[in-house]
Amino acid sequence: MAKKLVIVESPAKSKTITKYLGSDYAVLASFGHVRDLPSQNGSVEPKSNFKMNYQIKDTSQKHVTAIVKAAKEAEIVYMASDQDREGEAIAWNLAEILREKKLKTEIKRATFTEITEKAVKDGIKNARDIDYHLVDAQQARLSLDYLVGFHLSPVLWKKLPGSRSAGRVQSVALRLIVEREKEIRAFVPSEYWSLQATLNSANNEEFLSKVISFEGKKLSNAFPKNEKDASKIQEYLENAKTLIAREIESKDAKRNPFAPFNTASLQQDASNKLGFSTDRTMKTAQKLYEGIEIGSGTRGLITYMRTDGTTLSKDAVESIREYIVSQFGDKYLPKSPRIYKTKTKNAQEAHEAIRPTDISLSPEKIGKYLSSDELKLYELIWKRTLACQMSEAIFLRQSIDLSDKADKVMLRANGNVLKFDGFLKAYSVQIDEDGDGSLLPDIKIGDEVNILMPIEKKQHFTAAKPRYTEASLVKDLEELGIGRPSTYATIIKTLQDREYVHIDKRQFVPDLKGVVVTSFLKGFFTKYVEYEFTAGLEEELDIISDGKLEKLKFLRNFWDEFDAKVADSMEKDPSIISSEIAKFMQEYMFSGTHADEKQCLHCKSKNIDIKTGKFGVYVKCLDCDQNNSIDKYIAGMVITEDGEQKPSAASGTLVGKDEKGNEIFYKTGKFGPYFEAIQDGKAKRASIPAFIPEVSLENALFLLSLPKVIGKFEDKPISIGIGKFGPYVLYNGEYISIVEKEKTATLTQKEAIHIIQNKPEKKSRFAKADGTTREKKTRELGEHPKTKKQILVGKSRYGVYALYMKKFYTIKGIENAEDATLEDAINAIDNG
Ligand SMILES: [Zn+2]
């Protein structure tokens, strides 16, 4: 038996480390936390100095037994769980268990910044004692979450029938989502117009310009407000015929690379660029961190993925700089290394950014050893890390302001050209600048240019802030200081598990339960769902881990006030609670364009009340005495006398009329914003996809016309439409995705034929030996761990599915069957 025992969290990590340490060491995995606080009364005892009554988890029993047995025979135990607060707590809990067993074996704490041979050996060499400040901070966090969850949830169950549990941080995240939806519902879009003109220089060069002011008034989303006012500007320009250049600017603009990734920015970028959920990102990053077999042996490919740091180690910076010179040349290397400071205040938990452990392992080099998800995420991290030490990109920015002789109308033309790509060579980013990537003609101040007809004017509508995506929610949480790298993914998952929110088109939509819970917490636990208060608690936890605040003092401080609040709420008269919720729901449901939906669904009386009863919140009619389900209102629907669901045409914003004179409205509903036209007494709706965000009559007419035939190819019609998975061309019975989604609205017959002729080849993996293209529908994925029955995966027009025991389960969030993992499939089966 080995004399030295190393305990890590996961079997993958233990596999990697075993190879580095040799036969003197035995490596065991704890499989995460081994003890927790059972969710029963008394797991934390405020009256006994917040004593925590831990229990070994059922699933951990066998791992604990193995660890105890091995520790008895060892001379020294290295607790090498992850390097953050949670990892420190795992180390401490295991040490406590060994102490309770009266083991005398020496215990040390080792941390690895990355799972490479050098880092692991260094970690063992520099092993230290367990850091009790870090453990205190973790315990304070755990106690806080337990106390809030365990005492707040019963209040909800008693006062709000049908509600689920409430967590400390999740409730605040939920509030963000609910408040955003409330803003969206209350938003009344307003109309405005923009104008642009093509100009012609003396050298006969054409360029575009926008009207920026008229009669001293700036054009904005508040002016001009209607077509009449826009036409006035248009007519004025038509009469002016020429413009004079008044001001010319031309300058270099520099753009610096982004800081390397921390947890929050990685989650955001992976969501925006790869469409990964935070959960999927973290699971994939974990695998890259713990070690992957890459031919020359197993090794960790990235540094620890739970970090709020953006600093890089000296060694890492040096090797990145060498790599940049060898790959791109001196031009791409700044004179001195770029330094990115971490925002976090506490030094204790200041960790490195997420970076590759070896920059020379390019995605091309090791791609064949990685799964598709692993490769995508690794590539993102690799490129971002490389870019963060590269030169800035340089743009040439030009602008020319022009006005008419009387100086009444002012137009501006922009030119914007990339002069030197710098870091963009490694890491492309969306550059949101005016100008179309071309230079402006050579014009001097005082030069006259011609205005070419026609002058284009365009209708727009202001739009509400968009719903939260996982990426934007994590961004706001990080900015508000709520949650920490280890918790973002859990927060998001918990909200969905409790059915407080659901995801639609990758955006969070609050469910009724979530709205009601938020209204209750805002009314009666105001402080505890305040952003500053929650952020303040996180900061205090950081101070505890720095050893500058006592855990007990912190808990006592929190508990005394919270406990009183809970007792007080339990005694609250139901009518007080009902009226508080009614107030919030009233604003939530019937503001803005939804104002006239405030009516009884049975008798249309406006005399209604929002009530809280045994079965939750409902709408009571004071005239006909009937109860109405609240879901109908949230969906923005009104039911007619004959029971038929009919949209309330009066609500919403009039966008314009179609050629038959039918009015078209812009509305928001349960599934986001949409256009609606009433044709022959029937409502036709089209939701507004993210790639056609602009609310205009033109877009409304287009979206409402789908699916439609746009031309012919070899005598067969070509249609286009928008389906569950985005825009498509339908030809000869086959759906082909339109990859450049933005082009959908203007797709010509020629472009459609191009798409048909260049449609992606069927995957050869499933091709038959004789070369025919008939695709095999499914592939084997593995066994379900519970039943040991085979799971197959395949793709239909409705998406990727798992086939298991003769039943189909949709696997959400992925587009190709090849990307489905066994884990994805088991998840879909167990939740479906
Ligand atoms: Zn009624």
DSSP output for 719-757: EEEEETTEEEEEETTEEEE-SSGGGGGG--HHHHHHHHH
How many angstroms is it from 530 CA to the middle of ligand 1? Answer: 38
Rounded CA-CA distance 422/257 in Å is 9
How many angstroms is it from 645 CA to the middle of ligand 1? Answer: 16
The pLDDT score that the predictor gives to residue 62 is 95
Q: Could you tell me whether strands 409-420 and 217-218 are parallel, antiparallel, or unpaired per DSSP bridges?
A: unpaired
The pLDDT score that the predictor gives to residue 639 is 39
HSE-CB of 211 using CA atoms within 13 angstroms: 34
Q: Catalytic residue, from 192, 304, 427, 468: name it.
A: 304
CATH class of 263-387: mainly alpha
The pLDDT score that the predictor gives to residue 679 is 76
Q: In the chain, which stretches have pLDDT less than 50?
A: 347-348, 432-435, 637-650, 762-776
DSSP reduced 3-state for 300: coil
Q: For ligand 1, a single-atom ion, which residues have Cβ within 5 Å?
A: 600, 602-603, 605, 621, 623-624
CATH class of 191-248+399-415+434-461: mainly beta
The pLDDT score that the predictor gives to residue 592 is 83
- In one-letter notation, the amino acid at residue 446 is G
Instruction: Report how far Cα 386 is from the mean position of its chain's Cα atoms.
Output: 24
Q: Could you tell me whether strands 191-200 and 206-214 are parallel, antiparallel, or unpaired per DSSP bridges?
A: antiparallel
The pLDDT score that the predictor gives to residue 555 is 97
Report whether 136 contacts 545 (CB < 8 A). yes
Q: Which fold has domain 4-130?
A: Rossmann fold (3.40.50)
How many angstroms is it from 608 CA to the middle of ligand 1? Answer: 8
Run of H or E residues at 536? helix 531-545
The pLDDT score that the predictor gives to residue 437 is 66
How many angstroms is it from 626 CA to the middle of ligand 1? Answer: 6
Nearest to 510 by CA among 495, 498, 500: 500
How many angstroms is it from 827 CA to the middle of ligand 1? Answer: 44
Report domain extents, the chain: 4-130, 140-183+472-572, 191-248+399-415+434-461, 263-387, 575-639, 766-831
CATH of 140-183+472-572, one of 3.60.21.70, 1.10.260.40, 1.10.460.10, 1.10.1420.10: 1.10.460.10
Q: What is the pLDDT of residues 8-65, one digit of tens each?
A: 999 999 989 998 998 899 999 999 999 999 988 899 999 999 999 999 999 999 999 9
How many angstroms is it from 598 CA to the middle of ligand 1? Answer: 11
HSE-CB of 35 using CA atoms within 13 angstroms: 20
How many angstroms is it from 85 CA to the middle of ligand 1? Answer: 57
304 has catalytic annotation: yes
Rounded CA-CA distance 579/609 in Å is 10
Nearest to 827 by CA among 268, 378, 280, 291: 280
Structure-token pair, residue 785: 């761990």
DSSP reduced 3-state for 408: coil
